[in-house]
Each structure stands twice: as structure tokens, then as C-alpha cells.
Copies of this chain bind each other. A is one copy, B any other.
Amino acid sequence: MKRQITIKDIALKLGLSTSTVSRALKDHPDISPKTRAAVKELAALLGYRPNRIALNLRNNSTSTIGLIIPEIEHYFFSAIINGIEEVAYKNDYSVMVFQSNESYKREVINTQAVLTNRVDGVLVSFSKETNDFSHFQKLIDNEIPVVFFDRVIDELQADQVVADDYQGAFLAVNHLIEKGCKRIAHFAAPQHLAIGKSRLSGYHDALLKHNIPFDQSLVVLADTFDSARKSAHDILRRPDYPTGFFAVNDMAAIAIIKEAKHLGLRVPEDIKVVGFENSKSAAISEPELTTVDQFGFELGREACQLLLKRLKNEENETSFKPIKKVIKTRLVVRSST
């Protein structure tokens, strides 16, 4: 690689010391106008760019944040990245992306990578497999600010940003009931994830509000297209199949619709379906899917803003109080209900 122009090069050509050049470049008042002008001119001419790595070393900071995320391919996560990148960009931070691919092992390695790369802070949404969180604790022990988003855990002393899963689920189920559904199934996420729990509990309470008994047999674990399609097949073949479906994400909801149509049922006449995410696919599905908008972009923005705030107040080490931000959701009504 071509050697980059350094302060030393400029100093040499001008017969100055590196200190003078350094100060001239940043308008230090000690430097005479003549010298300053000369330095700046030559710097521009040579195309001098300060070497960030040297600065990183000196300041012990990289202006980089690490992002550990299950899978970029999910619409929801890429929307979040969008929000994160937006805020990072505006604050002159760069983002390093590490995917766990929903693997705990990979995630542990990711936390190490984040450490070796000396990022200033980390944004995390952990994998479905993860139920030991000591690798994140290690980050916190190293006093690297961590903000969890979407998939969060209360046991760690760290900030959190989440969608209002409870509210969203409540809205969704309430909507199904108002549309006339008496028996409503819930396709749920694993219950060790907070989103799994909150959405189930929103579902539960919406039923309660309308005096509909909670039926455990109508709650199935299915948060992917394939598993949801299979479960939908089973449940729709029961004689007393439910007429309302609340799925934990859009993919599962779409799988339900697909399978229903496959079995000769009409949506929304025979069954009604609500998803969660408001992905691109929701608008494409046929009929278009009623869903809960999670505002992924805003969620990413909030998470990044929170992290940057922590990075700026680093001196303030007295008694860390975790902040939990909750982003309100919104029901997007379409033709599947």
C-alpha cells in the first residue's frame, strides 16, 4: 500500500517540527498566521489525512461501535441496522457488524472480536440459543457500554431498548376479538426470550379483557415459516379449529395464511390472521397481512442514541442506573382480518 502523507512529511518539507504542524492544523493560537497558512496549504496540496489509527492509540478510543445481531436477512433487523447506521453516521461513528446466526457459540466469539477490535461500545440482540450471558457480563466488566435491543435480559446491568411487545400483542388480539373471533390461537416465540413472554402475556390479557378463557392448547411454539406452516396444518385440521390467529412474527403469520388457503379455507372469511413486525412481506402477502408495526428503524435509532449518550458521559461512573426504553407499537390493519 502506498505510504500515506503524515505530519512528518509536512514538517520536513516546511522545516518545522511535527508539533508545530500538528498545532497549525488544528488552529492552535500559539501558531503564527504565516506558519499556519503555509502548513494548511501544503497539507491540502499533499492530500494529508490524519491517521485515525494513531489517534485511536493515543486516545484509547476508536469511534466505532460493535453490533452483534442474529441475522441481517430478517427485515426487522435490517431496519434496525438502518436506524443504527443513521445515528452513528451523524455522530461520526462507524459500525462493525457481527452476526451470530442464532448460534450461541458464534455469539461468544463475536463478543471477543468486539473486544479485540476495541470498539467504544456495543449494541446487542442476542441469539435464540443464548441462555448463559456471561460473555456479555465480560464486556460490562471491561466497562464497555452495552445496549441490548429487541432481545433483552433484565439480569444484566445494561440499557435496553425494546418494542412494546405487550401492547402490540394486546392490540392485535383485541382487534381479532373485535372482528368477531372467539377462539384465537397464538403462535409464540420461545418463552425464555422476553419478546416471547411479553407477547404471550399481551395475548392472554386481551382474551381476559373480553372474558374469553385462555386455552393452553391454542398456544404453540412456532416462530419460523416452516414450523408455523406445520403447526398451522395440525391446528387447522382439528374440528374445532380457531378462527383467529396471532403470530409472533410476519413469517409465521404468512405461513398460517398459506396453509389455510392450501386447506381450502378463506382469509379473512374463515380465519383471520395478525402478524408482528410489519415487514415488506406483510404488504405483499395475499391477502395483505394485518400486523403490528415494531418501528425497527426507530428502535435502532434509539438504541444507538442511548449508547452514544453513555459513551459521552463516561466520566460519570457513579452508580450506573440501567435505562429501559420502550417503543410503542402500532396496529396496521389490512385485509387478512
A: residues with CB less than 8 A from B are 1-2, 4, 49-54, 56-57, 60-62, 64, 71-73, 75, 78-79, 81-82, 85, 89, 94-99, 113, 115-118, 142-144, 251, 254, 258, 261, 280-281, 284-286, 314
Contact = CB atoms under 8 A, between A and B. Distances in A.
Tally of this chain's copies: 2
A99 B117 contact: no
Contact of A95 (B75, B79, B97): B97
A231 to B, nearest CB: 18
B62 A73 contact: no
B81 A72 contact: yes
Contacts of A54: 57
A97 B73 contact: no
Contacts of A53: 53, 56-57, 60, 62, 118
Contacts of A142: 1-2, 4
Given A51-B118, A96-B97, 8 more contacts: A1-B61, A52-B117, A64-B96, A72-B85, A73-B75, A94-B96, A284-B285, A286-B286
A127 to B, nearest CB: 15
Nearest to A120: B1
